[in-house]
Amino acid sequence: MKKFKGIIPALITPYDCEGRISESGTRHLVRHLLDKQVDGFYLSGSTGEGFLQTVGERQLFLEIVADEVKGVVPIIAHVGAMDTATCVELTKHAARSGADAVSSVAPFYYKHGQEQVRGHYLDIAMAADIPLIIYHFPAMTGVQSTVSFYKELSKVENIVGVKFTSKDTFELQQLIEACGPDFRVFNGPDECLLAGLAVGCCGAIGSTYNIMPQLFVQLYRTFQAGDLVAARTLQAQANRVIAELLKYDFIAFEREILHLQGIEVGTPRKPIQQLSEEERLQIRLFAEQVDFLRINTVEE
């Protein structure tokens, strides 16, 4: 489990001009991020628009990424869905297709009790011989599982960690302490990466790591080296970009930045925001002022 650490982009899913998964765009983005020395990939989660894709598309995307990565860094395949059967199907496919772990949000929309959520995770964990990293995202799922809930599940052999997407660092610290040093806890909110590392996260899975990977890799390594002052400076730089991102849908913003960086990933699927020409211009004008975004300033 020690290989699950560091900076892991929640990968954007590239689409072609007809809205289909783009193999060439996927390979380009993966190679680009590997060149920036990221520590893994998280597929088909919120950033990857997994909930807007068919099961077949999610399976295809994993197969392309796994073929491009070739085991250089770990791959975590998000298998979350509203129903357990789909999660189990995706988990079995992930185990066959080269993923190193799977991950899942709690079942959402219907108001399930904790027993049903627990059973859902246990079914995923037992579906195949592949580790499960739970995806804690109460703001989106409406499921606010407790520290004691995670402590209990941490004792299940195949449940190895949690992606904690919440800004409650007190709860995060309590969870890390309760589950023990071998349980892999990843920070979720990119704007709180330094705080998450400070309370003991082994690394982070984040969305904006697609557009500023080198900055976050440097932040992680700077923190590991004990230079807290420099790490704070890097977090502040990242947060200035995130503050601008919050004016738009985050997926639409990141896709536009990748386009400006010369990486074609297409537009998000509706009903996600489709940027107007004016919005695209404003994003370009902002990005041109941020050296570490390294956009192509040649007019299209």
Q: CB under 8 Å to 189, separation ≥6 — which residues?
A: 165, 166, 167, 196, 206
Q: Is 108 left (phi over 0), alpha (psi -120 to 50) or beta?
A: beta
- Catalytic hit among 15, 42, 121, 135: 135
Annotation marks residue 163 as catalytic: yes
- Catalytic hit among 5, 163, 209, 220: 163
Helix or strand run (H / E) with residue 290: none
111: buried, middle or exposed (CB in 10 Å: 19+, 13-18, 0-12)? Answer: exposed
Find out whether 215 and 15 touch, Cβ atoms under 8 Å: no
SS3 label, residue 73: coil
Q: CB under 8 Å to 85, separation ≥6 — which residues?
A: none
Query: Computed over its alpha carbons, how large is the radius of gyration of the chain?
Result: 18
Question: What's the CA gap between 164 and 185, in Å, rounded?
Answer: 7
Tokens of 179: 């589950």
SS3 label, residue 42: strand
SS3 label, residue 62: helix
Q: How far is CA 251 from the centre of its chain?
A: 12
Q: Could you list the active site residues?
A: 135, 163
